[in-house]
Amino acid sequence: MKICFCLHNHQPVGNFDHVMDSAYEDCYLPMLEALENHQGISSGIHISGTLLEWLAVNHPDYIERTGELCRRGRMELLTSGRYEPILTIFRRLDVVQQIKDYSDCLAQLSGRRPGGLWLTERVWEPQLPSILSEAGVSWAVVDDIHLKRAGVLGMDLFRPCITEDSGRILKLLGSNRELRYRIPFSPVESVMEKLREMHDAGASLVFYGDDGEKFGVWPGTNKLCYEDNWLDRFLGEVESADWLDSVLPSEAAGTEAAGPFYIPASSYTEMGEWTLHGRQRDEYDELHEQLDTQGRSGSAEVFLTGGFWRNFLSVYPESKELHGRILCAEPLVRRSENKEALHHFWRSQCNCAFWHGVFGGIYLPHLREAVWKELHKAEWKALKAVDGYPLVLTADVNADGFNENIIVSQTQSLLIHPDRGLTISELTFLHPDGEPVPLGHVLSRQLENYHKSIPGAGSSGEVRTIHDDTASKEEGLAGKVTIDRWRRMCFSDLVMSSSLHLNRWKQNDRAITHFQKPALSTSIAITDSAVSFSGEFAEGKIRIKKKMTAEMKRAVIRTRTEYSVEPFDRAGMEICLNLMTGQSPDRYYRVDSGEKHLMSEEGEFHGKRIEVFDCWRKVKTIIEMSCEADVWVTPLDSVNRSESGYERVHQGAAFYISGNADDTGFFNLEIGMRMEALNDS
């Protein structure tokens, strides 16, 4: 029986260097050494472009050793979108170009142009065969569940399978689920028994494709794989088994194939579950449980596919917004013909910050910041190349049926929502050298299915897969879950009774009225010096008239809002900023030049000026009011799951600037906000 091993090594754009170093020492290096030492083992490996570029700078010897294994015919590299995008959500021309570009890069490294592709997160849509064929790909890796959902049965699951789109053929290698869940968590003897069972049943080929991080990065696996020698013992057993023949993925793909079969839009089982939220997820779990109790869990996995990956773009508006901004930037980047701009543009497509499952994903501020920075760098280089400043675009960026306005000057980048209360969600300061500082990318907190299952603190230390239950990193996390009723953005208008205080605001009390809703009317005026907006909004008897001006030369935004509310009601504006952490002493705020407060500190103040210092990214934000106002501050912390446990993550801080209406119900608020560079002193 032929056996084929294929591993996928990836680190997200923007991941911390110490995390990358740890993954290298704990996983990538010892894994490579194990493959070098077992000369009877052939393997395929996919290294994402982000990780490959990091390795080329920090561990070029790793690249050389990998290339040498490829030249000896013991290893082959798989291609992909260059920086691990979800292929199906970007334009065909772009996807084809970046796969070809990455294949060229890998051909230089290994001496052979890849014919196979590692499919990012195994997200499949039926148009992929024609896209991949156009990019020079003849076979791709999926999970065997993809094949089962296409009707593949019996021994055909142990062969390559053919699919097609528009007459373009693609072969698929389906990774065996039983092996994925046993390796490396079951004893070596148990895995070998399972392989022998497959052989004796008549299987001609078994294909194993999975994350390389299972061999050293996942909790407990470094000790298991290397200190306890699991990987070395397993590879040795495979080498010595005269009934097993280790082959390269291209050799596996070249064996007789079954088909054609047509795969519906899908991914691996857990991904389908993670895309479901709210009542949908509850109903899915109930149906799954009913089938499990009837002993039909196998049927449940095939026919209860869960949700569709693109659901993440509707579940998380921040994800769709990034996706829309990338699509809007593409014509400019391509018109510039600037290669550096194009690579920054591709890096902004890295999938990890678009979604959330076991890994922190979109909940990790440094990953969100990284992809937004790559997009801003792409635009900066492209605009310089075409002398295109300032950029002012109108487009339905988030596909909600209303147009947004993109403004990119040499000092700031903004995404303004005229029909969502004249709010700003993308607020980025651009240093004179083009280095972007995303300040407005605050993630609004949502109810996640796992919130009801948050356990107490502590860990058993047992080696488990990341899909098992995880522990809390601190006590009382279940009581810290907060769900946002409105998006936490900049310049959101909020009205509430005068009896409501800070705690009711920070808990998103239902008695609070927000105006992130379609406007009664809006207008826009564009001059050489500024873009100005006007809008009228209503909720019941409450009316507001709002004006906003974004300057073109300076990073300045001015707003004026007239509130018509119930007498003495509290009315004002919420500004949310993301400084990446709430605990660092080099990021703080103060009111009227008073005491410094960390971004994690809530408080109640009264004043005319707020200063927010980000000494790490070298930017200062000044918010000034035309008259003294109440200033409430609260950190915005999410409670979410990661591979290492349940944790609290700082998503930003909210500043609510407000006052009470007079006895006629009128209140007027003028705010000016500017961002400026901080010098090293």
| Residue 46 phi, psi dihedral angles, 5° rounding | -115, 125
In a domain, 469, yes or no: no
In a domain, 557, yes or no: yes
Residue 653 CA to chain centroid, in angstroms?
Answer: 21
Report the distance separating Cα 562 and Cα 546, nearest Å: 6
Q: Domain end: 283, 308, 333, which one? A: 308
In a domain, 601, yes or no: yes
In a domain, 369, yes or no: yes
Report the distance separating Cα 273 and Cα 280, nearest Å: 10
174 and 293 share a domain? no
pLDDT of amino acid 299: 85
552 and 671 share a domain? yes
Q: Where are the alpha helices (DSSP H) in 307-390?
A: 311-315, 317-336, 339-347, 365-386
Give residue-wise pLDDT tens across range 441-482: 999 999 999 998 888 644 444 554 554 557 888 888 989 999
The tokens for 456 are 């107490």
278 and 338 share a domain? no
- Average pLDDT score over the chain: 95
CB atoms within 10 A of CB 315: 20
189 and 286 share a domain? no
The answer to whether 98 and 82 are in contact (CB under 8 A) is yes
pTM: 0.95
Report the distance separating Cα 549 and Cα 520, nearest Å: 19
Please name the helix (run of DSSP H) or strand (run of DSSP E) that holds residue 235, with its range, or none: helix 230-240
The tokens for 382 are 């492209």
357 and 489 share a domain? no
565 and 633 share a domain? yes
Q: CA 591, 593, 599, 600: dihedral to nearest 10 degrees?
A: -70
Q: Where are the alpha helices (DSSP H) in 515-598?
A: none
pLDDT of amino acid 459: 45
The amino acid present at 71, given as its one-letter code, is R
Q: Which string of b and e fits 6-20 if b means at least 16 CB within 10 Å?
A: bbbbbbbbbbeeeeb
Question: Strand, coil or helix: what is 545?
Answer: strand
Q: pLDDT band for position 273 (50/70/90)?
A: very high
pLDDT of amino acid 457: 46
In a domain, 208, yes or no: yes
Q: Sort residue 478 into left (φ over 0), alpha (ψ -120 to 50) or beta.
A: alpha
pLDDT of amino acid 359: 86
Report the distance separating Cα 285 and Cα 368, nearest Å: 30
Give residue-wise pLDDT tens across range 306-346: 999 999 999 999 999 999 999 999 999 999 999 999 999 99
Q: Domain end: 282, 308, 334, which one? A: 308
Q: 331: cis peptide before it, omega within 30°?
A: no
Sign of torsion over alpha carbons 588, 590, 594, 598: negative
The answer to whether 648 and 538 are in contact (CB under 8 A) is no
154 and 301 share a domain? no
The answer to whether 50 and 10 are in contact (CB under 8 A) is yes
Query: What CA–CA distances, in Å, run from 576 to 51, 92, 211, 272, 515?
Result: 33, 36, 37, 32, 15
In a domain, 460, yes or no: no
Q: CA 128, 134, 139, 141: dihedral to nearest 10 degrees?
A: -40
**What CATH code is carried by the domain that includes residue 625?**
2.70.98.10
**What CATH code is carried by the domain that includes residue 39?**
3.20.110.20
Q: Domain end: 235, 267, 299, which one? A: 267
Residue 238 has pLDDT above 90, yes or no: yes
What's the per-residue H, E or C state across 608-674?
EEEEEEECCCCEEEEEEEEEEEEEEEEEEEEEEEECCEEEEEEEEEEEEEEEECCCCCEEEEEEEEE
Range of 659's domain?
390-445+480-681
The answer to whether 320 and 354 are in contact (CB under 8 A) is no
In a domain, 464, yes or no: no
- The mean per-residue pLDDT over the stretch 577-583 comes to 96
580 and 547 share a domain? yes
172 and 279 share a domain? no
Contacts of 16 (CB under 8 A, 6+ apart): 366
pLDDT of amino acid 298: 83
How does DSSP classify residue 144?
H
Give residue-wise pLDDT tens across range 290-309: 998 998 888 888 999 999 99
39 and 168 share a domain? yes
Say which residue the tokens 């300057």 belong to. Answer: 551
pLDDT of amino acid 681: 58
Q: Which string of b and e fits 639-653 if b means at least 16 CB within 10 Å?
A: bbbbbbbbbbbbbbb
Question: Strand, coil or helix: what is 396?
Answer: coil
92 and 39 share a domain? yes
662 and 515 share a domain? yes
Report the distance separating Cα 478 and Cα 472, nearest Å: 9
Give residue-wise pLDDT tens across range 488-531: 999 999 999 999 999 999 999 999 999 998 999 999 999 999 99
- The mean per-residue pLDDT over the stretch 16-26 comes to 97
What percentage of the chain reaches a pLDDT higher than 90?
Answer: 91
Per the structure, the count of domains in the chain is 4
In a domain, 288, yes or no: yes
String of DSSP letters for 485-538: SS---EEEEEEE-TT--HHHHHTT-TT-EE--S--SEEEEEE-SSEEEEEEEEE
Give residue-wise pLDDT tens across range 24-58: 999 999 999 999 999 999 999 999 999 999 999 99
pLDDT of amino acid 460: 46
Q: How far apart are the first and last CA of the chain?
A: 68
Give residue-wise pLDDT tens across range 151-210: 999 999 999 999 999 999 999 999 999 999 999 999 999 999 999 999 999 999 999 999
Q: Which string of b and e fits 371-407 if b means at least 16 CB within 10 Å?
A: bbbbbbbbbbbbbebeeeebbebeeebbebeebbbbb
The answer to whether 530 and 552 are in contact (CB under 8 A) is yes
Report the distance separating Cα 373 and Cα 438, nearest Å: 7
Report the distance separating Cα 323 and Cα 314, nearest Å: 11
Give residue-wise pLDDT tens across range 78-96: 999 999 999 999 999 999 9
Residue 645 has pLDDT above 90, yes or no: no
Residue 454 CA to chain centroid, in angstroms?
Answer: 22
Residue 644 has pLDDT above 90, yes or no: no
Q: 260: cis peptide before it, omega within 30°?
A: yes
